[in-house]
A and B are shown apart, each in its own frame.
Chain A
Amino acid sequence: MRGYLAAVRIALRAIVRSKLRAALTVLGILIGVAAVVIVVALGTGVRNRILGEISGLGASSIYIFPQSTQASGLRRRESVRMSEADGLAVLKESTSVAALSPFSSTSMQIVAGEANVATQVMGVTRSYLSILSYRVAKGDGWTEADEQLKAKVCVIGETVREDLFGSSEAVGQYIRIGKHPFRVIGVLEKKGQSPFGEDQDDRLLMPIGSFRSRVVPSAPGKVQMLVAAATSERTVDRAVEQIDRILRQRHEIAPDDEPDFVIRTQAEFRASQERILDTLTMLLSSIAAVSLLVGGIGVMNIMLVSVTERTREIGIRMAIGASEGDILVQFLVEAITLSLIGGVMGLGAGLVVIKVLAAALGWNMTLPVSAVVIAVGTSATIGIVFGFFPARRAAHQDPITALRHE
């Protein structure tokens, strides 16, 4: 076990001597390590992006939908199952709900002058903007008075603005929705795509009262859904409990019965997305790991060839006093050196690919330090694991047989 530096020198010289062979072996490891590095970076990139977008939807938001059950279907008319009154009660009684908005929407054709476009028309209250972190970039949102008067005003998303008004000023213009002209009073700040690929700027918002009386005529107070925000991300669970209790009470549903509503939270959604992402990353990583394994087998193969070719050299070294340990270390160091060269080059290649991908996709992909450690650590481990068997074979040669080898 003397002189690891000498062993490294011997290893490098042996590698340089059979350049092409070494290069091919290194390539195997390089591809494996690069694959792992790229998969890890892609994984974190996708993760950051999707989870970031989900948070952008309002990390503490809660959605309450009506749900038809056998019991409720018999007991009451479907149309009044979820109402603005439910929302007001929740807002009033639940200590953990900070804001709440009723929500109804429909997809329809809207017209401004010559231009017309199909978009999602939504009836909400002003709280909706804050719950889902929308900001009015130009003009203003509507007022409480507008809500009470069911005023014909609307706030539009950037996509709608672009499609209807192009380069001309949108605020102050009129959009015809069904039979009624609505005045544009504000334009929302651009939000981009949602994690589901939905264009979050392709929408038109108006007071819920205006929606009910002028867009989709429906029973007073009826809404499709309630959107709420907990007081913080930590109080989401408590808010859900409180909403459940309040709505059961209002809908006269016993605690053990199936409710006629469903409560979904962004946190839940985020967790399920994270599970999917984890599974995906795991899957891709194992594929990358297989290529690393193949690289390792390449190292083992080349080391076995090297040991056979250098049997006589092993015999000479043993004759002049190399111990089995010395020979073992020599070949092990050679295998590790090969693997490490592949590992470092693979890391470099991976980084280049990540840079290119990040630029092409416009994603923010960072390689965690752990991935660098993993790349170098794994390649060294591969050298040790796959180099050990050939190295041991070299070390266990009988000196005299090795010397006679031609």
Chain B
Amino acid sequence: MLPQSQGVAAVLRDEPLIELASVGKDYTTEAVVVRALRHVDLTIQHGDFVAIVGQSGSGKSTLMNIVGCLDRPTRGTYRLDGLDVTRRSNDARAIVRNRLIGFVFQGFNLLPRTTALENVELPLVYRGVGVAERRRRALEALGAVGLADRLHHTPNQLSGGQQQRVAIARALVTSPPLLLADEPTGNLDTRTSYEVLGLLQRLNRGGITIILVTHEPDIAACASRVITMRDGEVRSDLRNERPVDAAVALAALPPSGAESDERAP
């Protein structure tokens, strides 16, 4: 799970992975203009683990969607890995999403009635990877998130934590340099949240840049940089020299006899 070679080259050139300059985003709904993002300048280096916090409606998801090439900014420029992606064609942006970005959503967003293995293989299908290679890499990714024994379960046969691990495996399977997680623990209990976070930290140590949106301070404390947003602007941008190790936090939790979330129904 190493970042891709062009990422390595960029690291050596000391170029940032993400560079947002004067980015703004307006939503026009029935003649009312919502300024979801007012003015954001943001630079994120390779290998960083960034948490974005802020009240609901402060523009965190809007920012993530722009960074993830799912949405286009109304104003400003966005360079990803040295590449201006704002004005690229839809097809080019699809390729960028496929090769450079892995997404993890709050609602998991797995394909229903589709097995874990097939869900994880999907990005590779769109990348044109052959069946055997696809299978091998999906198995590897599912192994990395500890789900080697749940390959043929469909999402409704998996617990929330397991579903989110499948989603992480799907995000990882293409070995992207950037992983975006919008409130990945929002639907999970504390214990499972720390497990997922521990997984993300491990991946980050392996070299993947991670941006994580959360509104829980405990979760944000696990990141090495915390950006606070308010009213569509960055309010504070602090480096956390001693991020909490999720594995340690997990061990410190009072033992829960049930472990219910981790058992498949």
Q: Within 8 Å CB of A325, what residues of B?
A: 91
Interface size on B, residues (CB 8 A): 26
A312, B110: Cα distance in complex, Å: 10
A398, B71: Cα distance in complex, Å: 8
Q: Which residue of B lies closest to A17 (CB)?
A: B113
Task: Decide yes or no whether A324 CB sits under 8 A from chain B.
Answer: yes
Q: Within 8 Å CB of A17, what residues of B?
A: 113
Task: Decide yes or no whether B59 CB sits under 8 A from chain A.
Answer: no
User: Distance in Å from the Cβ of A398 to the closest Cβ of chain B?
Assistant: 8
Task: Decide yes or no whether B123 CB sits under 8 A from chain A.
Answer: yes
**Is A324 within 8 A of B126, CB to CB?**
no
Interface size on A, residues (CB 8 A): 23
Contact for A319 among B99, B103, B128, B174, CB less than 8 A: B103
Q: Which of B94-118 contact A (CB under 8 A)?
A: 94-95, 97-99, 103, 105, 109-113
Q: Within 8 Å CB of B71, what residues of A?
A: 398-400
Q: Which residue of B lies closest to A396 (CB)?
A: B90
Check A3/B125 contact, CB under 8 A, given A316-B109, A319-B109: yes
Q: Which of A125-162 contact B (CB under 8 A)?
A: none
Q: Binding site of A, secondary structure by majority: helix, strand, loop or mixed? A: helix
Task: Decide yes or no whether B170 CB sits under 8 A from chain A.
Answer: yes
User: Distance in Å from the Cβ of B174 to the closest Cβ of chain A?
Assistant: 8
**Is A320 within 8 A of B70, CB to CB?**
no
Q: Which of B200-233 contact A (CB under 8 A)?
A: none
Task: Decide yes or no whether B65 CB sits under 8 A from chain A.
Answer: yes
Q: Which of B60-92 contact A (CB under 8 A)?
A: 65, 68, 70-71, 90-91
Task: Decide yes or no whether A237 CB sits under 8 A from chain B.
Answer: no
Contact for A318 among B94, B105, B128, B174, CB less than 8 A: B94
**Is B125 within 8 A of A323, CB to CB?**
no
Task: Decide yes or no whether A6 CB sits under 8 A from chain B.
Answer: yes
- Other A-B pairs, 17, CB within 8 Å; known A13-B113, A319-B68, A320-B103: A3-B128, A6-B125, A315-B109, A316-B109, A316-B110, A319-B70, A321-B95, A322-B126, A323-B94, A323-B95, A323-B126, A324-B90, A398-B71, A399-B70, A400-B65, A403-B70, A403-B105
Residue contacts A-B, CB under 8 angstroms, 19 given? A2-B127, A13-B113, A313-B111, A313-B112, A316-B109, A317-B122, A318-B97, A319-B70, A319-B109, A320-B103, A320-B122, A321-B94, A321-B95, A321-B123, A323-B90, A324-B90, A325-B91, A400-B65, A403-B70
A contacts, CB < 8 Å to B? 2-3, 6, 13, 17, 312-313, 315-326, 398-400, 403
